[in-house]
């Protein structure tokens, strides 16, 4: 722990990552529904190496669990992709230059009474419910038609992601109530966050084999009154503007802001799209994956995560 910044620092000591091999007498069919984020799955994952002290825990642990099913094994002696690891490509400029206001970010030293969401620093454990809402292709087409009924969005694509995210934003924001209050405060500003891949947005773009994180947070802000009374096309436009503004200069400004302020993304909730990650296209020696899910989580400082996937 760095006493000056109050943050954990990474000791790059080449100690490696954790690798765990596990087996189960159950088949995948016996495990049950894999799409639903079942908290019980957390019991099947090793989250820490028991033989190591807390400060010596690896930053990453990989676990491979074999179930009671037939499979094939194959191996190669070379990497499919040679990784490009130069982190200086995403380093802050010298000196840092913040050229945009960043409503999607919050400084770590912001006084509790001055940040917009009173629950942002509430570290109390919550009892969470998990729901899966399924939108058919017909539902998404109806949302796209609804976005076209008013004035056309200005240079923003009426894409599946934009309309679904706008719909989620309106529903989630208008369902929010402060503890102890009855009814919705229509003057409250709601902020939605969503991840954007900046690899092709930089100038020049990052190499295709770059192995570091290259994701920043786009955002849209509006008063609840506008979310309730405004046309749906305007919400779609605001969502699209978040990704549209994420060009090279804006991304560099975010990186420089982080170098100066050491803050983090700040909003009511985060929409994380899995639509184009291509998990279903990964072909292992024994075939393609049957399903993909994860252990349910709540982000740092109770930032709620909503995942959108086909």
Specify the CATH number for the domain of residue 293.
3.30.559.10
pLDDT the model gives residue 118: 44
pLDDT the model gives residue 273: 81
Shared domain for 175 and 115, answered yes or no, is: yes
pLDDT the model gives residue 298: 46
Per the structure block, which two tokens stand in for 67?
A: 């179930």
- The pLDDT-based confidence of 231 (bands split at 50, 70, 90) is very high
* Domain around 226: 87-308
CB 259 within 8 A of CB 92: yes
pLDDT the model gives residue 67: 80
Tell me the pLDDT tens digit for each residue of 148-160.
876 555 667 899 9
User: 302 or 6: whose pLDDT is higher?
Assistant: 6
Shared domain for 156 and 283, answered yes or no, is: yes
User: 42 or 98: whose pLDDT is higher?
Assistant: 98
> What is the rounded average pLDDT of the residues 64-83?
69
pLDDT the model gives residue 292: 67
Give domain status of residue 71, yes or no.
no
pLDDT the model gives residue 151: 58
Give domain status of residue 229, yes or no.
yes
Tell me the pLDDT tens digit for each residue of 276-300.
777 777 777 677 776 666 655 544 4
- The pLDDT-based confidence of 238 (bands split at 50, 70, 90) is very high
% of the chain residues with pLDDT over 90: 36
Q: Is the pLDDT of residue 306 over 50?
A: yes
Give domain status of residue 228, yes or no.
yes
CA dist., res. 250 & res. 49, Å (int): 39
Centroid of chain to Cα 161: 14
Shared domain for 59 and 122, answered yes or no, is: no
Shared domain for 93 and 61, answered yes or no, is: no
Which of helix, strand or coil describes residue 192? strand
Give domain status of residue 130, yes or no.
yes
Shared domain for 111 and 193, answered yes or no, is: yes
Give domain status of residue 8, yes or no.
no
pLDDT the model gives residue 61: 87
Mean pLDDT of the chain: 80
- Residues pairing with 7 in the sheet: 2
Shared domain for 38 and 99, answered yes or no, is: no
CA distances to 68, 100, 131, 254 from 260, rounded to whole Å, are: 52, 14, 38, 10
CA dist., res. 101 & res. 257, Å (int): 10
Q: Is the pLDDT of residue 197 over 80?
A: yes
Tell me the pLDDT tens digit for each residue of 141-189.
999 999 987 655 566 789 999 999 999 999 989 887 665 555 678 888 9
- The pLDDT-based confidence of 109 (bands split at 50, 70, 90) is low
Residue where a domain terminates, one of 35, 66, 97 = 66
Give domain status of residue 288, yes or no.
yes
- The pLDDT-based confidence of 119 (bands split at 50, 70, 90) is very low
pLDDT the model gives residue 162: 94
Which of helix, strand or coil describes residue 78? coil
CA dist., res. 41 & res. 33, Å (int): 11
Residue where a domain terminates, one of 6, 34, 66 = 66
Give domain status of residue 2, yes or no.
no
Q: Is the pLDDT of residue 98 over 90?
A: yes
How many domains is the chain built from? 2
Q: Is the peptide bond before 204 cis (omega within 30 degrees of 0)?
A: yes
> For strand 18-23 and strand 61-66, is the pairing parallel, antiparallel, or unpaired?
parallel
Give domain status of residue 3, yes or no.
no
Candidate from 139-153, 196-210, 242-256, 292-306 with smallest mean pLDDT: 292-306
Shared domain for 57 and 194, answered yes or no, is: no
Shared domain for 95 and 219, answered yes or no, is: yes
Tell me the pLDDT tens digit for each residue of 2-35.
777 767 777 788 888 889 898 888 887 787 777 6
| Surface-to-core class of residue 254, CB atoms within 10 Å of its CB (0-12 exposed, 13-18 middle, 19+ buried) | buried
pLDDT the model gives residue 25: 85
Q: What is the pTM for the complete model shown?
A: 0.70
Which of helix, strand or coil describes residue 307? strand
Shared domain for 34 and 162, answered yes or no, is: no
For 94-108, give one letter per residue: b (16+ CB within 10 A) or e: eeeebeeebebbbee
Q: Is the pLDDT of residue 120 over 70?
A: no
Q: Is the pLDDT of residue 198 over 80?
A: yes
Shared domain for 122 and 43, answered yes or no, is: no
């Amino acid at each position: 722990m760095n006493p000056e910044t109050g943050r954990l620092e990474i000791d790059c000591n080449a100690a490696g990552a954790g690798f765990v091999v596990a087996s189960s007498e159950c088949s995948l069919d016996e495990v049950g529904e894999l799409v639903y984020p079942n908290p019980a799955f957390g019991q099947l994952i090793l989250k820490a190496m028991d033989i190591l002290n807390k400060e010596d825990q690896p930053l990453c642990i990989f676990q491979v669990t074999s179930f009671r099913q037939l499979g094939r094994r194959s191996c190669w002696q070379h990497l499919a992709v040679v990784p490009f690891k130069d982190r200086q490509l995403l380093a802050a400029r010298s000196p840092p230059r913040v050229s945009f206001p960043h409503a999607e970010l919050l400084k770590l030293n912001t006084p509790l009474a001055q940040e917009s969401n009173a629950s942002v620093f509430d570290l109390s454990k919550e009892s969470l419910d998990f729901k899966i809402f399924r939108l058919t292709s017909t539902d998404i087409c109806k949302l796209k038609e609804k976005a076209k009924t008013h004035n056309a969005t200005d240079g923003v694509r009426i894409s599946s992601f934009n309309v679904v995210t706008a719909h989620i934003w309106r529903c989630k924001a208008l369902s929010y109530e402060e503890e102890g209050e009855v009814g919705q405060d229509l003057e409250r500003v709601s902020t939605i966050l969503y991840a954007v891949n900046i690899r092709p947005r930089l100038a020049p773009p990052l190499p295709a084999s770059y192995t570091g994180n290259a994701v920043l947070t786009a955002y849209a802000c509006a008063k609840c009154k506008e979310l309730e009374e405004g046309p749906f096309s305007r919400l779609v436009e605001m969502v699209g503007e978040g990704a549209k503004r994420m060009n090279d200069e804006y991304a560099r400004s975010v990186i420089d802001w982080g170098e100066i302020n050491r803050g983090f993304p700040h909003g009511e909730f985060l929409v994380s799209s899995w639509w184009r990650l291509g998990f279903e296209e990964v072909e292992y020696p024994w075939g393609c994956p049957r399903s993909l899910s994860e252990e349910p989580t709540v982000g740092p400082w109770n930032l709620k995560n909503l995942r959108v996937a086909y």
